[in-house]
Each structure stands twice: as structure tokens, then as C-alpha cells.
Structure 1
Amino acid sequence: MEHIAVIIPSYEPDERLILLIRSLQPQCSNIVVVNDGSGPKFDQIFMELQKSGVTILSHAVNQGKGRALKTAFNYCLLQDPDLVGCVTADSDGQHLPEDIVHCGEVLSRHPDSLVLGCRDFDDVSVPQKSRYGNKITRTLFRYLCGLKITDTQTGLRGIPAQFMRALLVVPGERFEFETNMLIASKDHCLIKEIKIKTIYDSPKNHATHFDPIKDSIRIYRILGKMFLHFIISSLSSSIVDLSLFAILCALLREQSGYILIATALARIVSASYNYIVNYHIVFSSKAQHRKSTVKYIVLAIIQGTLSAVLVSGMVALVGAKFEVPSKILVDILLFIISFYIQREFIFNKS
């Protein structure tokens, strides 16, 4: 694996780390282990690895997996200007040496893709908390982020060099960094999955530094952040929209087609506000303003037209006094559709 580094963040490792690296060394010449503040009790293990030719980077105190990975990314990028990328693996023996090497080989053939080593979650050896946790995050990734990923929590990843540079400024110091990495990949690279085997001590007693409560909260908070911001953005723009709509309806009710006129004027103001908030805050978009603005205008026109037509139809059925409630019901449906369209086609850089 020429110009590909193997990075292993490690906190309080045991002999399995030594065995893993001994198995990797015949095929991997550049192995970087990050001692993430393990303490003096574990110095002997890291000294033994260093004597065998492994690069050891150390944190004075435990700073988390995300920070350990960033420390290693920075080191590898500075040491090898021709770096193709790196393969990250866990230090607890979960990943087989042949799968780590295979991940690096796939990265060599696809240097613009994020390669994910994906576990088979139907395997009885996978702990239940890992199985169910992955199913939940996999579903959230698909519906909230638009990413269809088999194994969202895998630590075996082949990361291109240009993506490593981008990841140095991606938020997250602990396990949530790996979640942010997947989300950030939408703006930087494709995702390629390979099947791997995962070894556990036992389904009921697998040693891990992943805190199922604290770290899960961090991960789900990240996944829900975009949608929550979208809700807040939409609600605030809806307040602007509905307020102007109600005022204009009251002023223009005697005129023919007043609902269409009120809808159009209110939507112009609220849509301008909504675009600015969504671009800069909700989706943190890097798309070109010119393209995204045109797409957003087209969406706003279509959405506004549908809103006017559907509200007019409902008002014709239930009466003029239900103008605002009818618009609320229609816009809730359009809101769900709009989130998907904006995320995938308007503010998505790719």
C-alpha cells in the first residue's frame, strides 16, 4: 500500500493491538498509532510498538477519537506530500488485518472515494447494542441526510488525502466526529462500501470506550440538527408568510383572484428570508449562489403555485373563513417535500 498510511487511534490498549500491528507490518510500511492519553500504565505497549518501527503520536490527556484522528491526519499529510490517503482502524482487534489491507487496496484504486468497511449486522456475533444502534442511525442518515450507508458506525475507513485535509476543520472531538465525517463526504467525495468481518470477544461482553448514552446523544443531536434548523427556518418564514397572507387577504378580498395575489406577494418576502437562512445556517451550503438561487426560485414558484391552487380548492370546498387553516395544512405537506428537494438538489454542492 504505497503512500497509504494506516492510522489506529488507541486508548488504554491491550495485547490485541500488538498482535494486530505485527500482522499488518509485512504489508503496511506506514503505521501511525495515536496514544490518546492512555497513561503510564500503558507506556510499555507503545514503547514496544515504537521499537518495531511504528510511529507513535501521543496526547497528554484523553481527548477523544475525533481529536486523535485529526492529530494523525495532520501528521501524515505533512510527512508525505504524495499521500494517497489513509486507512483508519480500531485498536481492539475488531478489524482483521486482511480487511484493513483490502480497504487500502480499494482506496488505491479509488483515490477520490471514502471507502467504508461494512459489517454484516445479521451476524450473531455482533452485539445487540451495535446492531440496533446502527439500524437507528442508518435510518436517520437516509432520511435526514440523504446518505444510504450500510454501516454508519464502522471504524474501518479508507480516507482520500484531499478529504483528510477537509476533515481537519470538521467539528467533533470524540465519536461524533465519525458521524460528521460521513455528512461532510457529501461535499467532498463519493462513498464506496466493502464487506468486512468483525471480531468480538462475545456478543454480551464486548469491551468498548463508546458510551452508549453520552456518545449516542452526541451522534443523534448531529443527525437531527439539520432537520431541526430546517423546521425553525420554515416556521419563522411561515410566520412571515402567513402574517402577510392574512393581511393581504383582508385588504384584497373584494378583488378577483385575491388568494393568488396574496400568496404571491407573501411568498416573495418569506422565500427571500428563507433562502438566506437555509443557505448559510440550515445546510451550510457551499453550492454556487447563482445556481442555488435559480433552483430555489424555481422551487419557490412551483411550491407557491401548488400552495395557491390547493388552498383555493380547499377554500372552495370549506368556505372563505378557513383560508388560513387550509393554507397551514397544505404547507405542511409541501414542507416535507421541500426539505428533501432543498437538501438534495438546491444546496447540495455536488
Structure 2
Amino acid sequence: MVVLIPAYEPDTRLLTLVADLRTAGHDVLVVDDGSGPDHAPLFAAATRLGAHVLTHPRNRGKGQALRTGLAHLAATRPGQDVVCADCDGQHTPTDIDAVAARLAAVPDDTLVLGTRRFTGDVPTRSRVGNTVTRLLFRAVTGTAVHDTQTGLRGYPAAMIPWLLGVRGDRFEYELEILLRATTSGRRIVEHDIATVYLHANASSHFRPVADSLRVYLPLLAFAASSLTAFVLDTVLLLALHATTGNLLLSVIGARAVSCAVNFHLNRRLVFGRTTRAAGHTPRRGAAARYAALALTLLTANYLLLTALTTLGVPLLTAKVLTEATLFATSFEVQRRFVFTTGTLPTMSPARTTPRGKAPQCPSTPPARPTRPQQPSPAPPQPSSPTSDATSHASCSATSPASPRS
């Protein structure tokens, strides 16, 4: 198991975490997400403590930093599980160990979340933000996750290729993973961890407006697609009914057009991000399943409309009530059966060592690290032979062999 830590302009809490993890025997990979020269001495100190450091020349976002680290591990440490942790002191070594232990006990189709219960002194922004996201996530996916914004997560090695295909460059990447997991047959388990906020979370780089929009946008994609189809369907229904006076023909004609639009939007923009990442769902198969769903919903739609209008409910009101009733059913069926691949990718080569056991590198283990001191401002030595963050470092580079001369 490797601990992956994305870091942007960190402080000495990163060094404390690296030292504790190395003391516990964990391999540590840190991705410097373009923190700049002012923070170079700190990352050099992390290297001296035994971490391997990759560097983005400029800030590219937490999501891209995580993908850079995952791609590096897939290339240099195949078969190794990964636990991702934040660099700001929110995740303790004890909790990281606990998530790693839980990860070792679950199947390859399961990711583990280190879940905070938000007890004690929690910043209002964090408490409200997580509550809103949790409620939206459950409303859209039907899956209850208590802490959707946690950065402490465990991923099996077999899941890394799929993770590399998930979209999102910044904070939305982690929520996107959860959304795509619910549509691709993967399981999410939660393990309780401590709720730690230091200095009211002042070190967080989360931008309340811009990053909130990025986080919530995926949650609203399906609702927007359905709303578009609903408006089109309603307008066509009213127009056809006014022209023909035949409710059945009007329902069929309006639904045929709106379903074609809805299928295209959902396949390309909503559920398609998963199918492209986890193995493309054939258009013909998805279309056949969608047609079966559409026919079922069409029948239910007509029966409900007939019942409501017979009771004297105006057609427009009856249409709104009918669509609201069928919305949740439509989403759940599309999520679980229409646009899912039904298969999981496997990693090649397969895991060759037990979970939690790293392959042995042909090098001398590093000396036991000591607790970090404030890094010297002297110019750092490079942490890798190249500035390319996605370069394929050797096994000995991932686990440093001996103190620098």
C-alpha cells in the first residue's frame, strides 16, 4: 500500500505527516501541485524524510494532482493499493492506517471512505457544505454517503485504471468518483475517522463560489437533462393535443421526440462519462434498454394522465404531477441498468503481493526518520531526475535507498 498526498502550498504539517507515515513503514508519494519556488525547501525536506515527490510546473488542481500520482503508481508500483490523504493535518496517521486496513479487507470493486461525523468545533462553511452535498448526492443517486467531501480514501489497485478515466481537475474530481461509482457497479464503504479542523480550516484552498459550482454541477446534470426533455415533451403534448384532440396519439408523439433527446443527452453528458472511463457501453445495447424503459414509462405516463384528467385535473397540471412521480424511477433505472457497463476493468499485471505489502526494492531501506524541523531556506536538491510529474521513476526512486551524499 502507498499513501498518496496531493499538496498545494503546504506548511510543515505535511512534513509531520510524512515523518509519521515513514516511521510506520508506509511508502509515501507526494505530488507538488505547482506550489512554486517558495515551497521548494519544504518538498526537499519531504524527500529527505523518505517521500517520493512529483512536481507540477504550475497549479493544475487537486483532481489532476491525484491522477498524476495514480498514473505514476500504476506505472511503477503495479498491484499496489493506494490511500489518498490531505496534507493539512486533517487526516491522522491512525486514521490512515485504519482506512488501509479496511481497504485490505474489501473486494477489488470497492472503495473506502474515511468518513467524518462532523462533531465538535467544525467551521460553519464545512458543516453546511457537506450537508448540502450529502443531501443532493442522495437525491440524485439514491445512495447515502455521510461524508462526500472527504479526502481520505482507499482505492484497490484494480480500480486505478478506472480512476484515471474519471473527469475533473479540481475538487469536483472526488465527488465525480463517487457519482461514477454509483453508475458502474462499484461499492462505497465508509469507515469513521476523527473530525479534525485546525485554525478553522484556514489553510484550505477551496474557493467557496467557483469550487462549489464545480462540485455541484455533476449532481445537477441529470436533473437538467430531464428538465429539458420535460419542457420539450410538455410543449409537444399540448400542441399535439390542441391539434388532434387525441390524448393517446399526443402522448406517443411528444414522448417519441423527447425520449430521443433525453437518451442522447444522458448518454453523452450524464452517464456517458462513466461508460467511457469504465469500458464503453455499446450504443445499440443502451438504446434497446432505454427503449424498453421508455415504453414502460410511456404506458405509466398515459395511464396517470388519463386518470388525472378524468378526475378533472387540467392537462398541464396533470402532466407536471405525472412527470414528478416518474422522475426518480427513470433516473434509478437508467443509472443501474441502461447506461451501466456491468463489467469492471482489471489491472494488468494483477496484484503480485498481498494488500498492504509493498514489493521489495533492490535498495537499502532509508534510515528511520526523525520528527521534522522547519526546513532550511537553502536551495533544494531536485527530488527526481526530471521535472515532468508523470515521468516513470524507478522502484528505488519511489523508496529512496540511502541518505543523500
Fold conserved between structures, TM > 0.5: yes
1:309 paired with 2:320, answer no
Q: Residue 198 of structure 2 aligns to a residue in which SS?
A: coil
Look up the match of 1:132.
Answer: 128
Q: Residue 155 of structure 1 aligns to a residue in which SS?
A: coil
> Could you list the runs of 5+ residues in structure 1 that have no partner in the other structure?
250-257
The Cα shift of 1:153 comes to 0.8
Change (3 A) 1:117 1:248: same
Matches within 5 A, 1:150-165: 150-165=146-161
Q: What is the TM-score normalised by the length of structure 1? A: 0.85
Matches within 5 A, 1:184-333: 184-186=180-182, 187=184, 189-202=186-199, 204=200, 206-249=202-245, 258-264=246-252, 266-284=254-272, 286=275, 287=281, 292-318=286-312, 323=315, 326-333=318-325
The Cα shift of 1:89 comes to 0.4
1:59 paired with 2:56, answer yes
Change (3 A) 1:238 1:25: same
CA distance in structure 2 between the partners assigned to 1:277 and 1:207 by the alignment: 39
RMSD: 2.6
User: Which of 107, 113, 116 is equivalent to 1:116?
Assistant: 113
- Give deviations 1:80-125, integer Å, cap 9, x for gaps: 1222x2100011111110111121122122233111000111x113
Point out the structure with the larger helix share: 1
- Give deviations 1:300-345, integer Å, cap 9, x for gaps: 33332333333333443439xx556644543443345433443344
Change (3 A) 1:27 1:294: same
CA distance in structure 2 between the partners assigned to 1:214 and 1:277 by the alignment: 25
Q: What is the TM-score normalised by the length of structure 2? A: 0.74
Look up the match of 2:167.
Answer: 171
Which protein, 1 or 2, shows the higher relative CO under an 8 Å CA cutoff with sep ≥ 6? Answer: 2
Letter in 1 for 2:161: R
- Give deviations 1:230-283, integer Å, cap 9, x for gaps: 21133234444544444343xxxxxxxx53354345544543454344333343
Asked if 2 retains the 8 angstrom alpha-carbon contact of 1:238 and 1:270, the reply is no
Letter in 2 for 1:90: D
CA distance in structure 2 between the partners assigned to 1:150 and 1:329 by the alignment: 31
> Could you list the runs of 5+ residues in structure 2 that have no partner in the other structure?
276-280, 343-405
CA distance in structure 1 between the partners assigned to 2:265 and 2:243 by the alignment: 24
Percent identity reads 37
User: Which of 69, 82, 85 is equivalent to 1:86?
Assistant: 82
CA distance in structure 2 between the partners assigned to 1:207 and 1:35 by the alignment: 16
* Paired residue total: 334
Letter in 1 for 2:70: F
Q: Residue 34 of structure 1 aligns to a residue in which SS?
A: strand
CA distance in structure 2 between the partners assigned to 1:183 and 1:89 by the alignment: 20
Look up the match of 1:38.
Answer: 35
User: Which of 14, 18, 30 is equivalent to 2:15?
Assistant: 18
Matches within 5 A, 1:88-107: 88-107=84-103
